[in-house]
């Protein structure tokens, strides 16, 4: 018994320990009020100052200790800030947290943005298939949330995928869809960008009149939003269109305006200006701008080819030959670089797939671990409950046994006291019988009277306590049974005890029953033998001989 109690005690201790560990495991992730204020502040700065939002988010020391919802918000805000600041992130480990949470909680607006930024990560590592899949997953959430701006962005991303595949008709189709939804969202800056994109699309299709019309619309919206970079881009693209239409003066005016609005070093515009100046016969100026473009180390083959043309027009064949060789070398180098980048992109993709598989395995293992803890806690709770129930049952049984023993002991004490009183009377009787009757005093006569009374009481109690063997009970019960056949054996005994004048305590002790049980028997007897409610049981029983 002691060993069993020891084992139960250890099980209870172990269950409490495991439950505490489980509680700490699930409750340890909690967002502090300071971190929540940082998240709110970063969200408010996202549109106007994304760089400041990044600093605020980076000041959260332990993002993994945030609760699940706040950790997802942190991941989404950080990915959004990186994208707005043109910080290209290839890994999707940050945004994947937001995707998992918002898709699970069915938060349509945030789930759409999470998938959108996930596609940007895939784009940065040149994984076009995953990029397209994430865009497809983002669309239903964007439509459900009725976020027209986001739908416009998603269509623009689709157009960009087709642009890389040189499918210009599909590019134009999705750029127009993007323009439609951005117009519904009244996003002026992105409307201007959409017009600019459509102008470039038609330029590549060599539909120059349509390209110019979209460029003019883009220019008008760019002036409305007062974005100098957009204005410069519109003039720069317009100059290219005029160049291919052989309207070189217009092209020259447009490229000069582009340079006026863009004070940054732009090799493309310098190269375009050089090409236009060649056509207008200003070879020295063209040479100046092309050599400036060469210093940036960008688009070297095109610059070398244009410089070769300048020196051919100047009849400087030696220099022309030199730039011809440099053009071929740059072309070959560019080809090798493209080949290397394609191989490195493939290698990055393979490495990413391996890492993603490993991450998936870790996620599955983590989920299994959590489920194991939950199941273990549940089993321990069930075992503990069963042990406590059994323990409670045994305690109740023990209490019943102790109470029964106490009743038996009380009955034994009562019997012993009765026996002692009877023995004392008998001893007095013996003493009195040894004294001659002539010498009996008044006290002796009183003792004899007491003895006779106690003797008669003992005889009557003996008959009553064992009524089944006494002749008076047998005759009474037979007569009672004849008159009232429905009475049970126990009811006959109770009727007999009432008939001979037993009080309630004696009846309960003799039959070993409780108060409630006695009154139930008495109620049944009344129903069976009393014809009227006012008639007493004692009256009917006393009438039976």
User: Alpha-carbon distance 414 to 51, whole Å?
Assistant: 96
Q: State the alpha helices, DSSP H only, in 435-514.
A: 442-465, 471-483, 489-500, 504-511
User: Alpha-carbon distance 191 to 185, whole Å?
Assistant: 9
Res 26: pLDDT: 45
Res 341: pLDDT: 44
Which phi and psi (to 5°) does residue 355 adopt?
Answer: -65, -40
Res 213: pLDDT: 92
Question: Count of alpha carbons within 13 Å of 188, Cβ hemisphere only?
Answer: 10
Q: At what angle do helices 188-204 and 168-185 cross, to 10 degrees?
A: 160
Res 68: pLDDT: 85
In the CATH scheme, what architecture does the domain 469-544 have?
Answer: Orthogonal Bundle (1.10)
Res 427: pLDDT: 56
User: Alpha-carbon distance 61 to 355, whole Å?
Assistant: 25
| Whether the Cβ atoms of residue 240 and residue 269 lie closer than 8 Å to each other | no
Note if the pTM is more than 0.75: no
Structure tokens at 321: 């030959």
Res 362: pLDDT: 65
Structure tokens at 439: 């010498």
**Cβ atoms within 10 Å of 145's Cβ, excluding its own:** 17
pLDDT, averaged across the chain: 78
DSSP class of 438: G
From first to last of its 545 residues, the chain has per-residue pLDDT tens of: 445 555 555 556 556 655 555 544 444 557 788 888 888 888 888 888 888 888 888 888 888 888 888 888 888 888 888 888 888 888 888 888 888 888 888 888 888 888 988 988 888 888 888 888 988 988 899 898 888 988 998 999 889 888 888 888 998 999 999 999 999 988 888 899 899 999 899 988 889 899 999 999 999 988 888 888 888 889 888 988 888 888 988 888 988 888 888 766 677 777 888 888 888 888 888 888 888 877 766 667 887 888 888 888 888 888 778 878 787 877 766 555 554 544 444 445 545 555 556 666 767 776 777 888 888 888 888 888 888 888 888 888 888 788 777 888 787 787 777 767 666 665 554 544 443 444 444 444 444 444 444 444 444 444 444 444 344 778 888 888 888 888 888 888 888 888 888 888 888 877 888 888 988 988 888 888 887 777 788 888 888 87
Distant-in-sequence contacts of 169-174, Cβ < 8 A, 24+ apart: 171/201, 172/198, 172/201, 172/202, 172/205
Structure tokens at 48: 């106007």
pLDDT one-digit tens code per residue, 222-273: 888 888 888 888 988 898 888 888 898 888 898 888 888 876 667 777 788 8
């Amino acid at each position: 018994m002691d060993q069993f109690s020891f084992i139960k005690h250890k099980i209870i201790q172990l269950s409490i320990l495991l439950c505490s560990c489980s509680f700490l495991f699930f409750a340890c992730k909690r967002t502090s009020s300071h971190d929540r204020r940082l998240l709110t502040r970063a969200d408010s700065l996202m549109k106007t100052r994304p760089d400041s939002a990044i600093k605020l988010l980076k000041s959260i020391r332990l993002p993994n200790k945030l609760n699940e919802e706040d950790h997802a918000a942190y991941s989404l805000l950080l990915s959004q800030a990186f994208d707005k600041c043109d910080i290209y992130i290839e890994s999707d480990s940050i945004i994947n947290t937001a995707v998992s949470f918002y898709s699970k909680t069915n938060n349509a607006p945030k789930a759409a943005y999470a998938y959108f930024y996930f596609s940007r990560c895939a784009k940065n590592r040149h994984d076009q298939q995953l990029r397209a899949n994430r865009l497809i997953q983002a669309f239903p959430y964007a439509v459900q949330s009725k976020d027209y701006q986001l739908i416009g962005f998603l269509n623009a991303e689709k157009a960009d995928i087709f642009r890389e595949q040189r499918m210009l008709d599909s590019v134009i189709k999705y750029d127009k869809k993007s323009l439609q939804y951005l117009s519904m969202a009244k996003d002026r800056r992105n409307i201007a960008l959409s017009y600019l994109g459509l102008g470039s699309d038609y330029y590549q299709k060599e539909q120059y009149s349509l390209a110019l019309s979209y460029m003019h619309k883009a220019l008008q919206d760019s002036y409305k939003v007062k974005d100098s970079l957009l204005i410069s881009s519109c003039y720069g693209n317009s100059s290219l269109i005029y160049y291919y239409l052989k309207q070189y003066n217009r092209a020259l005016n447009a490229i000069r305006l582009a340079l006026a609005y863009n004070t940054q070093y732009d090799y493309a515009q310098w190269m375009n200006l050089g090409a236009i100046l060649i056509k207008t016969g200003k070879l020295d100026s063209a040479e100046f701008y092309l050599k400036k473009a060469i210093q940036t180390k960008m688009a070297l083959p095109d610059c070398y080819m244009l410089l070769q043309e300048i020196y051919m027009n100047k009849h400087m064949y030696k220099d022309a030959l030199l730039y011809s060789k440099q053009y071929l070398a740059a072309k070959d180098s560019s080809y090798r670089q493209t080949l290397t980048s394609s191989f490195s992109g493939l290698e990055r993709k393979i490495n990413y797939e391996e890492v993603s598989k490993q991450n998936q395995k870790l996620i599955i293992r983590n989920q299994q671990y959590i489920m194991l803890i939950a199941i273990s806690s549940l089993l321990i709770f069930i075992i503990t409950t069963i042990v406590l129930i059994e323990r409670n049952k045994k305690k109740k049984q023990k209490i019943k046994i102790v109470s029964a023993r106490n009743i038996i002991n009380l009955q034994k004490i009562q019997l012993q006291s009765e026996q002692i009183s009877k023995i004392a009377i008998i001893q007095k009787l013996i003493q009195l019988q040894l004294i001659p009757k002539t010498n009996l005093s008044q006290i002796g006569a009183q003792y004899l009277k007491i003895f006779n009374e106690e003797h008669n009481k003992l005889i009557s109690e003996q008959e009553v306590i064992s009524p089944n063997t006494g002749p008076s009970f047998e005759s009474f019960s037979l007569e009672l049974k004849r008159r009232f056949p429905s009475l049970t054996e126990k009811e006959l005994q109770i009727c007999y005890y009432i008939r001979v004048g037993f009080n309630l305590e004696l009846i309960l002790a003799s039959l070993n029953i409780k108060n409630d049980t006695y009154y139930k028997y008495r109620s049944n007897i009344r129903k069976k033998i009393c014809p009227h409610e006012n008639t007493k049981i004692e009256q009917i029983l006393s009438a039976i001989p």
